Structure 1
Amino acid sequence: MYKTLIRMINDMKLRTKLILSFIVVVFVPVLIVGLFLTNELREMAIGNAIDQAATNVDRVKKRTSEVVNVSYDIAYRLANDTRLETVASRRYESVYDVVKAYKEYPDFREYMKLYREIGNIRLYVDNPTLLDNWEFIQPTDAIRNAEWYQQATSSSLVDWVYIVDERDNVKYLSLVRRVDFPNQGKSGVLVINVNSRMLNQILNQESFDTMIVDSSNQIVSANRPGRLGRPLNELDFENLIKHEETGTFETVVNGSKSQVMIEELKPAASMNGLRVISIFAIDDIVGEANQTIRLAVTVISISLAVAIFLIYAFSILLAKRMLRLSKNINKVATGNLGIVMEIDGKDEIGQLSRQFNAMVSSINALVVEVQESNQQKRQLAQKQNEIKFKMMASQINPHFLFNALESIRMKAHMKGETEIAKVVRLLGKMMRKNLEVGNRSIPMRSEIDIVRCYLEIQKFRHGDRLHFELLIDPKVEETLLPPLIIQPIVENAVVHGLESKEEGGLVRIKAELVGQDVHVEVMDNGSGMTPERAESVKQSLLEQDDDERNRIGLRNVHMRLQLTYGQEHGLVIDSVPSEGTRIHFIIPFGGRSDV
């Protein structure tokens, strides 16, 4: 088999061999690599789209949950409101009594003013002495026979349905639940409409085709026109997917291959829930990738065409030279020894032509018995000088700075300046720790180490005017907290509390375990603050926008504590003029986050 292949290759013309070798060595590998990269680029685009869709669906789910949970909370409050029971179940003697009772119970209207997440609140209750005012409504036979009404009266759980509001004959996603009046032995049906505009605003911020669907496959909100209120069955994709609660599926939607992502949203104590459905066409996602692929294919095709043309032209050039050599050899074979072949070049063909001329000359000398000197062979000398230049560049980084500080410290130490050496070492240590600080939490002992370095440096500056105490409970040393929380407070105590005090003072840092919480306190006996100044500082911690007059350091610490552990974990400031300032905060033991 091997010999047959070699013989077939040897039987081919040189031009055919060159073209075949180009196809095998260049064209086929480029084609394979191109197909592989094209597929990878396409899969990457789809994967990124799926990740983005998952993020979008999760965001829609969370924001929708926040909206519907408002209705749930209000329904829970109303279901346990004895005042509502009194108004709804009381037997009234006159219209005046009814109007007076309605006026004394404004809770429905107040809830609608306070919470923009709800559109309407109404209570269906059998009490012929009540007046229908779109809040308290006597159920008609049509309402009593409605499936949602019967479902509500037969269960104490919350039901989420897409029903018509009698006020404007428009459908809303509504919370429906039974409200029992145990003192009267009666019950009513509470309906709270979810604000459709808020649901639409949530979906309109999404780039993909996104819908919110109830348990009966009714589209209650969508970011594409013409879908609101339509059943999911009218959309053109597989019926099996329409009943899936969660997952990612590949299907055909409106004739286009698409990805469908479904996420279930089921509020607490509900007999049913909602589903968030996101759809994106694969062709739209890979469109940019396909454009890049087409451009790459065009460039590669042109490059291959140019390469084939050059290979073909080069093969013709070689074939012509070989053909000339073959013709001259045939002439010598017929006895023509006066031939001098001229084929330029220093490649193998040129070498063969020169050897052929030398051979013909030798034969001529033997035939005519004329002594001729042999043709001197040309000696080719080729010199190539290569000069390589290497450029080296040094890069200054934090390690260079640390090394420089260490050199200064060693010089000071060698000259007996131990105090300067100590301060330089503390400065280098503090800078290194600050540079190493990232977004992750650090142990309490690391934060206290930074504080200790800072205070030692300040003590070097202020001398005996500054004293400090570190009272750290060993139990809390491994408690995690955000980096650079205590140091800005200590810096504030030194700069604003003690520097303006001529005789200096004391800074005490205390951290102790109290129950399941760690209490951290920074106290100074400096100049303190007037009540007006203290109140101004406290107000600055609550402001939303930065201002050049604000204490950015304390506000930053205050906000990070609240963002990490909750609103109740911010800074607490107590200050007395001429006596000092105390700033403290509380974090959970172990550093767990409650947010």
Structure 2
Amino acid sequence: MKNYFNNLKLRNKVVILYIFSVFLPIILTNIIFYQVTTNNVKEQKMNDLSKVLNQIKSEFLESIEHAVGISSALYTDNKMNEFLEKEYQSSSEYIEAYDTYLRGFNKYTPVFSAIQSIHFYTDNPTVVFSGGVNPISTLTKEEEWYQALLEKSDSIPLVTKTSSNHSRDTISVIRELNFFRVYENATKIVKIDIDQDMIDHIFENANLQGELYLLNENGGIEYTTNSLINWKEEVVSFQEVTKPEKVITLEENYDINNYLTNWKIIAVLDESQLLDNVSDSRKFIFYLAFFNFIVPTAIIVLISQSLNVRLNEVLKYMKKMKNQHFEIIEGIKYKDEIGQLTSEFNRMSKRINELINDVYVVNIQKKDLDLQRKQAQLSALQSQINPHFLFNALETIRMRSIIKQENETAKIIQNMAKMLRKSFTWGRDWVTVKEEMTIVLSFLEIQKYRFDEKLDYEISIDENAYEVIIPNMILLPFVENASIHGIEPKKEKGIIEIYIKCNSEYLICEIKDNGPGMEEEILARMLESLQVEEAIGDNVGIKNVYYRLKMYYGSDFKFKIKSHSDEGTIVSVHLPLQRNHLL
């Protein structure tokens, strides 16, 4: 990770620093702060709403229980049951009984403010129907509440929505008065209507931003504050109500009372309305985040500009040094580290200019002397292997051998002549691989003639390597060393292998023999002498080739020698590919 950052540009480092030290922390901090604030507000609101809903549940239940209590009192009132059951002989007898038992009955209404009215229903034909006593007529039997009462198999009161005298739907507690089995001559029913204004007061005065629904055991709406629902005139299922996209639902169930089993009060709230108070906090968080962005960003931009611009200026002048332009960076001399770096760069540039003026000319003269010395060494070597006066004599001997049909001798003399002709090309510094291998092959044929069956050789050359340009007389010295030092001392049969091939960048030449090889110390000493550029002295052929390669290619070539005692020697030379060099 450390190395990765070391390779990044300063500008990218500043951007990464800004993202991970300013941008992301501010974003995450404000998001978390906003989420925590929203959740806290939402939780507080939900707690408040839950308390309001529980209060509504309790107040409504209290109203119902008042009516249920009255119905229970009437259910167990023997005289009231006898009054509704008795067969009256005349109207005056009924009126007398009514005055005795029922005329003062409305005393329950002022005591319980939740009670709107109490009505009795009976099918006793001797009763005069008035003053709160109603007949169980055909219309009565068609009422939904009457049908629901008949379906009940127990004596628990029925709580349902009914139509009152004021043509408003109200909630009623209805109960059949059948506690005393001795009175079975007539059907007796008490219907207690809950004050609708009281129910409105309970539901509408609640401090609630959403809508409230009172549902019966079937999920039908018995009461709601939603003015868009016509719950007073028709049965509407809560599942059919259209709700906001993001809705919060609170629910309170009536599971402890048999007469309100599976009834529930549900509050439906739009989440956006619930979190209206958070909008102010959202704006504050936005402004705070904006301020936290602007100030650090401005400071980081100013500092990064101070660093990046001046460093790029120094880098631009340093790159000019590659082209021998040692210029001075002009401008204000600042006192920070970059200012010190600029001052040191200017001092270095001045010093380099002075050194160039003082030393460069002397070094050029010294290099010229070294080149002249090496050229003299090459000329000396050339004079040793370039015996012009022998050429004519060898040609004469070859012709006489042909005349005498001594073909083998003629072939060897011809190869020697080729080598002598090759020596005339020392004036050419570059030849093709094909031309170089001609002289190498001639040398191998001569050695084959000398050693007969003791020497064999193998040559493998890629077709695309023949026209590659290489320095003259580069391969022959290594082949000669392989023959003289590798094969000649060997008692068994010796083999010299030559491989030449190309890759994408280099011409690869490898000369291998299976001779006695070299000891490790001798090889190390020889390689060390090449590196320190000792005088030619010993190993003339190898040093001559190495120094010439270094002179032609500089450090852009590879030269290796691998050798072990009794395992032979491998010389490997990698030369840069050249095909269009001026020969």
TM bucket by the smaller chain? 0.5 to 0.7
Which one of 20, 23, 28 corresponds to residue 19 of structure 2? 23
Aligned to 1:141: 138
Contact 2:162 2:172 in 1 (8 A): yes
Partner Cα distance (1:18, 1:130) in 2: 100
Aligned to 1:521: none
Aligned to 2:155: 156
Aligned to 2:189: 189
1:351 aligns with 2:340: yes
Aligned to 2:398: none
Aligned to 1:199: 199
Contact 1:158 1:271 in 2 (8 A): no
How far is 1:51 from its partner? 2.1
Aligned to 1:270: 259
Which one of 97, 118, 132 corresponds to residue 101 of structure 1? 97
How far is 1:310 from its partner? 4.2
How far is 1:226 from its partner? 4.3
Partner Cα distance (1:256, 1:98) in 2: 62
CA gap of 1:45–1:25, structure 2 versus 1, over 3 A, is same
Task: Give RMSD over aligned pairs.
Answer: 3.2
Aligned to 1:87: 83
Contact 2:254 2:261 in 1 (8 A): no
How far is 1:192 from its partner? 0.6
CA gap of 1:311–1:126, structure 2 versus 1, over 3 A, is same
2:82 alignment partner AA: T
Aligned to 1:316: 305
Contact 1:200 1:222 in 2 (8 A): no
Superposition TM-score, scaled by structure 2 size: 0.53
Partner Cα distance (2:91, 2:349) in 1: 136
CA gap of 1:123–1:344, structure 2 versus 1, over 3 A, is farther
Which one of 67, 70, 77 corresponds to residue 71 of structure 1? 67
How far is 1:56 from its partner? 1.8
Aligned to 1:446: none
SS at match of 2:162: strand
How far is 1:61 from its partner? 1.4
Aligned to 1:300: 289
Partner Cα distance (1:96, 1:22) in 2: 101
2:274 alignment partner AA: I
Contact 2:314 2:342 in 1 (8 A): yes
Which one of 160, 172, 194 corresponds to residue 174 of structure 1? 172
Aligned to 1:211: 213
CA deviations over 1:143-166 (Å, ceiling 9, x no partner): 22444324434431111111123x
Unaligned runs of 5+ in 2: 359-583
How far is 1:337 from its partner? 7.0
Stretch of structure 1 that moved more, 311-320 or 171-180: 311-320
Counterparts of 1:296-445 in structure 2, within 5 Å, are: 296-301=285-290, 303-305=292-294, 307-329=296-318, 339=328, 341-359=330-348
Contact 2:220 2:238 in 1 (8 A): no
1:233 aligns with 2:237: yes
Superposition TM-score, scaled by structure 1 size: 0.52
CA gap of 1:222–1:313, structure 2 versus 1, over 3 A, is same
Partner Cα distance (1:139, 1:299) in 2: 73
SS at match of 1:129: coil
Contact 1:262 1:275 in 2 (8 A): yes
Partner Cα distance (1:312, 1:340) in 2: 24
Partner Cα distance (1:346, 1:68) in 2: 89
CA gap of 1:351–1:200, structure 2 versus 1, over 3 A, is same
Q: Percent identity?
A: 19
Contact 1:45 1:286 in 2 (8 A): yes
Partner Cα distance (2:113, 2:330) in 1: 100
SS at match of 1:127: coil
SS at match of 2:156: coil
Aligned to 1:289: 278
Partner Cα distance (2:331, 2:116) in 1: 99
SS at match of 2:277: helix
CA deviations over 1:67-109 (Å, ceiling 9, x no partner): 1111011111111222212321222233333333222223431
How far is 1:45 from its partner? 3.1
Partner Cα distance (1:133, 1:46) in 2: 56
CA deviations over 1:458-492 (Å, ceiling 9, x no partner): xxxxxxxxxxxxxxxxxxxxxxxxxxxxxxxxxxx
How far is 1:184 from its partner? 3.0
2:145 alignment partner AA: W
CA deviations over 1:119-175 (Å, ceiling 9, x no partner): 11111111112122251111112322444324434431111111123x333321111
Partner Cα distance (1:190, 1:97) in 2: 22
Partner Cα distance (1:336, 1:270) in 2: 103
Partner Cα distance (2:147, 2:325) in 1: 117
Aligned to 1:118: 115
Contact 1:121 1:191 in 2 (8 A): yes
1:124 alignment partner AA: Y
1:220 alignment partner AA: E
Partner Cα distance (2:130, 2:262) in 1: 30
2:237 alignment partner AA: N
Aligned to 1:50: 46
Partner Cα distance (1:123, 1:306) in 2: 81
Contact 2:333 2:343 in 1 (8 A): no
Contact 2:121 2:189 in 1 (8 A): yes
2:269 alignment partner AA: F
Partner Cα distance (1:88, 1:302) in 2: 82
2:193 alignment partner AA: N
Contact 1:159 1:272 in 2 (8 A): no
Aligned to 1:223: 225
Q: How many residues align?
A: 349
SS at match of 1:256: coil
CA gap of 1:337–1:280, structure 2 versus 1, over 3 A, is closer
Contact 2:213 2:266 in 1 (8 A): yes
How far is 1:22 from its partner? 0.6
Partner Cα distance (1:34, 1:307) in 2: 16
Greater gyration radius: 2
